[in-house]
Amino acid sequence: MDRRDFLTVTAAAIGLPDDELFGSTQGDAVDDYQLALSQSEKSVPASLALQATDTNHRQAGGFIIPAYGFAYPASTAGEITRLGTLFCNRDSRYYHDPALALRMTLGMGYLEREQHSDGTIDLPTTNFHSPPDTGFVIEDLTLLYRLLQKDGSDPAHDLMARLEKFIRRASRAIATGGIHTPNHRWVASAALAASYQLFKDPLYLKRIDEWLAEGMDCNADGEYTELSNAVYNRVTNRALMSIAESIDRPQLLDYVRRNISMMMMCVHPDGEIVTDYSRRQDRNTRARMNGYYIPYRVLSVRDNNGQFASMADWIASQARTRPDQVSLGGDLPDLMLRPDLRHEQIERKPLPDNYSRIFSESGAARIRRESLSATVTSNSSRFFSMRSGQSGSAVLESVRVASAFFGKGQFVSEKLSSNQNEFRLVQSLEAGYIQPLPPGSGIPNPRWSELDHKLRERSHICRLQTTITIREIQNGFELSINSTGTDKVPIVVEFWFRSGGILSSRDGGEIISQNGSNFMTSGHAKYSAGSNSLIIGPCIANHRWASLRGAEGPIPDAVPLTMTGFTPFHHTFRIVAQ
């Protein structure tokens, strides 16, 4: 299947006419390079409006972040790299634009003033004199340096001289400095590799090898340590590809291949990606495939991989149909430096849309049946999510379970197991009461915190075990919840739907709204959004206490449906897409 045929099939699959998916195509498929150029150019006016151009401004030349009211080096480096990319691009209306050259010069002045004497810069929202954040800046500026080097104009040479001094000082700091997080190792190494490609300082290679000697933190599933599909996967992929290219370490691309192969099964039909099990700030956020286009495109060409090529095409189609959410603008430098990416002739292969896969090392499972998409997650209170429809309109953001068990009954399973079409999550809790301290244990002491509590005996021990079994059925899932041990413990099961739809009773029963919760004592509920619906039931509400002590609060921008009962609790809910 060639590229145009693949995109036509994709358009039909997601309910879009060809012209919406292809833009204004006539004959040949739209060139992703032209799309990247167009999106990058469109961002320029808004970008320039952020720059402090008054030379008396305390951050003159910096690009002010509206949410903060101040500039910082990483954002400014990104902006002048964007401007420099267009300045060097013969196809751009900003090619050799003197106004852009002036703005880049102003931005470079700001960066020079912000660089500390030790070569580092600050990330003023959290890190100061930070080698890893300096690494992020150098990743951008070395890319800009290469583009200016190819351009060769007088303004380019003037800026290159200043960039070289900045990069060399920063790279020395990165080569001797430390890190905070797992991905920082690879960002620092990528910055040093790109600097080595330009300036050949052996100190850079020494530090790269020291970080690489720790071993790559990519598990068998294809996830990196932070399990961060929306942020740090793409950061790490970019870094590893840069190291592989800059200092000839092609074996590092194996980890990128593993990650982007996995990511093909972590995308919902509407283009949102799975963030349910992240260990970082993107957990349970809404995000799309920004930052993944280049890994798919580069490795599709390198490996002649038809699925990777199809995925790159699909991301580009998202950029055309959802330009406010997906952009290829940041990929323009790579497309300029790698013209071979624009002219490949790889036979396309279909993307996976019918699978059930457990990522055992990451504690998650993904199920996709064309327009139905679901995720099961351990180590999270939001252990199940599901959506129906190519537009993602009917979305069950989360199912949560909690009990009033000594204030620690929010259900979180430490392990996910599977058997054929069934997934199992288990939580075991224990609590009790402590006896008086025995004689000779440091009493009397009026300070409770200083008492040796581990010497106390315990009594009246209570236990509660909750097992949740999730089974795939036709067009949906069964959730069997069994909680036993201590009797008469209040239980709450919450279904949280993405706002924008309508919650109703399928059977005509009453929905009781109380204190921000919606209860149904029997029958089935229906949540409708767009042309899609989810049916949930049978409903149960044996009490109306939804805010249990120790349980998590409401989920923002979501509509709750609350089921309640008491232990021993045995109930099976069906969630079916219509």
Under 8 Å between Cβ of 83 and 47: yes
Residues in a beta bridge with 485: 464
Q: Kind and range of the H or E element at 384?
A: strand 384-388
Classify domain 354-577 by CATH number. Answer: 2.70.98
- Quickly count: other Cβ atoms within 10 Å of residue 389's Cβ: 22
Q: Which pLDDT score, from 0 to 100, does residue 391 have?
A: 75
The domain locations on the chain are 1-30+289-352, 38-178, 187-287, 354-577
Residue 8 one-letter amino acid: T
Mean pLDDT on 333-342: 95
Under 8 Å between Cβ of 404 and 434: no
DSSP 505-551: ETTSPPPEEETTEEE-SSS-EEEEETTEEEEEES--BS----S-TT-
Structure tokens belonging to residue 112: 């020079």
Query: Residue 277: which of 376, 194, 168, 159 has the closest Cα?
Result: 376
Mean pLDDT on 320-331: 97
Could you read off the pLDDT of 193-252 as tens digits, one per residue? Answer: 999 999 999 999 999 999 999 999 999 999 999 999 999 999 999 999 999 999 999 999
Could you read off the pLDDT of 64-99 as tens digits, one per residue? Answer: 999 999 999 999 999 999 999 999 999 999 999 999
Could you read off the pLDDT of 460-505 as tens digits, one per residue? Answer: 999 999 999 999 999 999 999 999 999 999 999 999 999 999 999 9
Q: Distance between CA 508 and CA 537 in Å, rounded? A: 13
Under 8 Å between Cβ of 544 and 519: yes
Could you read off the pLDDT of 3-13 as tens digits, one per residue? Answer: 545 444 444 44
Specify the 3-state DSSP secondary structure of 157: helix
CATH 1.50.10.100 fits 38-178, yes or no: yes
pTM of the model: 0.93
Q: Kind and range of the H or E element at 180?
A: none
Query: Residue 562: which of 531, 517, 498, 521 has the closest Cα?
Result: 517
DSSP-H helix ranges across 264-330: 293-303, 306-321
Helix axes 253-263, 232-246, angle to 10 degrees: 150
Q: How far apart are the first and last CA of the chain?
A: 32
Grade residue 122 by pLDDT with cuts at 50, 70 and 90.
very high
Could you read off the pLDDT of 392-414 as tens digits, one per residue? Answer: 689 999 999 999 999 999 999 98
